[in-house]
Structure 1
Amino acid sequence: HFEERARAGGSPRMVAIFSGTQLLESEGQRPTQLALALARRGIPVVFVYWRWWENEWRPQDRLEEGIVQIPIDVVVRRPEMLTAAFEGLERIALFELPYPGFFETLAAASSAGWITVYDVIDDWEEFHRVGQAVWWDEEFERHLIGACDAVFAINEPLAARVRALGGPGVELLGNGLKAGIAEVREPRPLARGEVTVGYFGYLAGAWFDWELIAEAAVRRPAWRFYLIGYGGSPEGTALPKNVELLGKQPQPDLAAFAANWDVAVIPFKPDRLAVGADPIKTYEYLAMGLPVVVTGVHPPAGAESLVDRAEGVEDFLRAIERAAARQGPAEAAARRAFAAGCTWDHRLESLLAALAAGRQRVAEKRALFEEQS
């Protein structure tokens, strides 16, 4: 039924997104946001999602928008169920993780003429090293890079890693942000410090630097630090009284909390896990007009003059002091202008334009199947 509806919609193409996460708009991950951006353009989406238990089914709550959701394990057991469908449309398979179980699905999609794309969003080897992505296998990731028609990476460190694994043509396609994220619905006043510093996002100890925040707060007792998020706790790090944990907050309320801050921060540990990230929150902070200071991660491409990168607690504090002094309307406008060009709709446009132009090996794939037909 979904295929019939997709054809009736008149789009010349459809996209299957193979995601390590489920389609939850509230959590804002890249696969979800690309799926929603595709749906806004009227392009049908098969969202193939990760699940841990076979009785864990996502509700089909996006059918009216043109998105059907299918568990990964269902597809990998019978890849032809998907790869033989939608014949006559341009079919794009977007792999968001190098899961070895995709071997047969990738082969079936390629042999059926699908345009295959590997979208590199994390340093999976490093996630594997810290006990996550337990399924990761270097040999399969090399195979995926070599077999796909196009490869994209969210930042230059990951692109360099792809090149080292045999993908010389990899292109950069950074993360983005949801339009309207900077809108303040109703005020959420917070007590202010001499300098008020804030963070929202995941708080996992694998990359969030609790010790840096604690030490910074000790050295600047007149400042206030607000942390919004979930997924981690200080784990033995004693937090001074001027650090306040606000818990997980609804995404539409983040801008209202952030309106109280002088500076937004991303205090990640300086290791490979962080280097491989392009935090969505960087773009969101900039959309809110906030000065941004980061550790561990790099500024987004093109935002090097808008985001300060620090190393160590003293450098972190000095960077915050410099950033807090840059509160003029011109600076805020420059941050917002950069972010305005980084919405998920813009990112999707760049991806589709690269494929339409036949870059990397896409033109070869099209030519091969045009000859066969």
Structure 2
Amino acid sequence: MSWAGPFQYEIGKSPHKSAEPAEVVFDEQVPTLLCLSHLRWSFVYQRPQHLMSRFARDFNVLFCEEPVPTEDAQPWLEVRPEENGVQVLIPRLPAGCEGEAAEPVLRRLVDGYLAKLGVEDLLLWYYTPMSLAFTDHLEPKVVIYDCMDELSAFHGAPPQLIERERQLLRRADLVFTGGYSLYEAKRKHHDNAHPFPSSVDVDHFAAARRPQADPADQAEIPLPRLGFYGVIDERLDLPLIAKVAAQRPDWQIVLIGPVVKIDPALLPQRDNIHYLGGKTYDELPQYLAGWDVAIMPFALNESTRFISPTKTPEYLAGGRPVVSTPITDVVRTYGDTGIVRIADSPEAFVTACEAALADAEDRDSLLEKADEILGDMSWDHTWSLMKEKIQCAI
């Protein structure tokens, strides 16, 4: 099928996966799942991408991002096919079309595209309650709210977010949460809430267990290396990183990821702190393979109160010992494992990293413990359990 008018297409390669995208595919015989997300598909490959790629086996998945500006006088909808048949929808809005003024425009764009596709059998999946403003008129079979973070605690959160979430919780048939702390908070407001901590693609990250050449930008960094990958934002404890680097100048701290919502000038600068920028999901195991210890130096603040970091099982799948600050879901899930060490101060963090470096030397024991912890954890398993909940709600 093809369409003209405002529904334009940009067929391009995803910057976070190596596979070329397929042509736009729409199967009129299967239901359509419209996912409304505050995260961009091509930003960091994480929970939404893992789940939507799998749901595309059973649904036409439309992944609608937040709008971006266009120089065009009229709004239009960019449609980009991604792997496994997912269609990424990006509303392009002219200058000045924002806030409440954008809501009816977004509604027309989404409605128009659903009409062009001939969608009759619809499910709605929300990552951001803000999208309710232009989708609350739709009549889906099921409404799912996958609450992966407490978004209202993040820097720059819209003031309407809390009220919009209340509305979404009233409308949702199912609520999934990205961890147990979030589940405990949301189950008070919804009687069909279920915890689904972020999982792991074990085979993907297990590649880090094999000896391999370092990427060019990491190859010249001396050992030992303490590494982190993820978004570098207000959730990271920058003073902690600076103090650890100062106390142990012989250790190299490798930080991988885009810098978001904080001034890059505030990042600690030392000879043994290395910022390598964002990397693709496919590249992460190669970087992880070159680290001695994986670290999670999260700040303890409102933005990290409910997080359940996906990288914990990913680091373990890669065969690396982990040192983390005392994030609640990390402590309760991994704190007694022996290879995920918890530290609540710079001095304790240094001590824990020293112990983790010793753990890394006993590789056979480390890998055995990691595999025991991971068990049958997988995104396929999470996806399967979520599908069961959805079928029960239909």
> After TM superposition, is the score higher than 0.5?
yes
Please list the CA deviations of residues 185-231 of structure 1 after superposition, one character each: whole Å capped at 9, or x if unmatched: 951045444x4311122222x12112101111221233222222221
- Could you tell me which of 46, 57, 72 is aligned with 1:29? 46
Aligned AA (1:122): D
- Could you tell me which of 66, 81, 89 is aligned with 1:70? 89
CA RMSD of aligned residues (A): 3.1
**Per-residue deviation, 1:273:** 0.6
Structure 1 residues 218 and 70, CA, compared in 2 at 3 Å: closer, same or farther? closer
Alignment of 1:175 onto 2:198: yes
Matches within 5 A, 1:264-279: 264-279=294-309
Name the counterpart of 2:177: 153
**Per-residue deviation, 1:134:** 2.2
Please state whether the residue corresponding to 2:230 is helix, strand or coil.
Answer: strand
Higher mean alpha-carbon deviation, 292-301 vs 221-230, is at 292-301
Structure 1 residues 285 and 79, CA, compared in 2 at 3 Å: closer, same or farther? same
In the alignment, structure 2 segments of 5+ residues that lack a partner are 4-23, 92-102
Q: Could you tell me how far apart the structure 1 residues matched to 2:213 and 2:313 are?
A: 21
Name the counterpart of 1:51: 67
Q: Could you tell me how far apart the structure 1 residues matched to 2:77 and 2:207 are?
A: 33
Q: Could you tell me how far apart the structure 2 residues matched to 1:146 and 1:7 are?
A: 31
Structure 1 residues 237 and 82, CA, compared in 2 at 3 Å: closer, same or farther? closer
Q: Could you tell me how far apart the structure 2 residues matched to 1:337 and 1:343 are?
A: 13
Matches within 5 A, 1:325-336: 325-327=358-360, 328-336=363-371
Q: Could you tell me how far apart the structure 2 residues matched to 1:2 and 1:343 are?
A: 36
**Per-residue deviation, 1:350:** 1.8
**Per-residue deviation, 1:158:** 1.7
Aligned AA (2:37): S
Alignment of 1:313 onto 2:313: no
**Per-residue deviation, 1:272:** 1.7
Name the counterpart of 1:245: 275
- Could you tell me which of 158, 183, 202 is aligned with 2:231? 202
Q: Could you tell me how far apart the structure 2 residues matched to 1:137 and 1:191 are?
A: 43
Please state whether the residue corresponding to 1:278 is helix, strand or coil.
Answer: coil
Aligned AA (1:160): E
Per the normalisation by structure 2, the TM-score is 0.76
**Per-residue deviation, 1:7:** 3.7
Higher mean alpha-carbon deviation, 266-275 vs 316-325, is at 316-325
Name the counterpart of 1:20: 38
Aligned AA (1:224): Q
Q: Could you tell me how far apart the structure 1 residues matched to 2:277 and 2:85 are?
A: 34
Percent of aligned positions that are identical = 24
Q: Could you tell me how far apart the structure 2 residues matched to 1:187 and 1:201 are?
A: 22
Structure 1 residues 348 and 135, CA, compared in 2 at 3 Å: closer, same or farther? farther
Please list the CA deviations of residues 245-277 of structure 1 after superposition, one character each: whole Å capped at 9, or x if unmatched: 233334333222222222100111111211222
**Per-residue deviation, 1:338:** 4.4
- Could you tell me which of 116, 119, 122 is aligned with 2:146? 119
Aligned AA (1:138): I
**Per-residue deviation, 1:118:** 0.6
Aligned AA (1:67): V
Name the counterpart of 1:61: 81
Structure 1 residues 183 and 340, CA, compared in 2 at 3 Å: closer, same or farther? farther
Please state whether the residue corresponding to 2:265 is helix, strand or coil.
Answer: coil
Structure 1 residues 241 and 172, CA, compared in 2 at 3 Å: closer, same or farther? same
Aligned AA (1:318): T
Aligned AA (1:174): P
Q: How many residues align?
A: 342
Structure 1 residues 79 and 52, CA, compared in 2 at 3 Å: closer, same or farther? closer
Q: Could you tell me how far apart the structure 2 residues matched to 1:246 and 1:292 are?
A: 20
**Per-residue deviation, 1:329:** 1.5
